[in-house]
Amino acid sequence: MELPAESGLSNDRCPTERRCSIGAPASDDGQTIHSGRYRLGPVGVATTIRREPISAFPGPKQFDIVYRFEPGAYTAINCRSATTYETYHTYPEYGLALYSEHIFTDLAADTADDTPAYETPASKIN
């Protein structure tokens, strides 16, 4: 099911099935390894995950929440707005950073009488 146009989520964020392991070649850096749109009850979520070189990580001071596991190994979360957050997970042993962006939006009721008719929570929207 397509997200309604008024949902505020771009319809060009189509799910991909490409998966990328941590040990993938550096030539995969900068590539989206997953993107998808999901419905969580009355909320739509567009998620994108990219593999990047560790040099793309801007450093821990740029983030709202940071956890350092060991030197150079971070999980960092930035709340860009009330509806958008981004994360970095760094893997210095691979020279890798995984970047994710999540955009949330309220979904309008989709029935003629405006009664909410939402799908099972966490269903993928194709």
What is the pLDDT at residue 125?
Answer: 57
d(CA 8, CA 56): 28
d(CA 15, CA 108): 21
Six-digit token string for 90: 């760094």
Cα-based distances in Å from 22 to 9, 73, 90, 91, 109? 29, 14, 11, 9, 40
* Predicted confidence (pLDDT) per residue in 36-93, tens digit: 888 887 888 999 999 999 999 999 998 999 999 999 999 999 999 999 999 999 999 9
d(CA 68, CA 110): 43
What is the pLDDT at residue 120?
Answer: 47
* Predicted confidence (pLDDT) per residue in 94-123, tens digit: 999 999 999 999 887 655 555 544 444 455
pTM value is 0.66
* Predicted confidence (pLDDT) per residue in 6-35, tens digit: 444 443 333 333 334 455 555 666 778 888
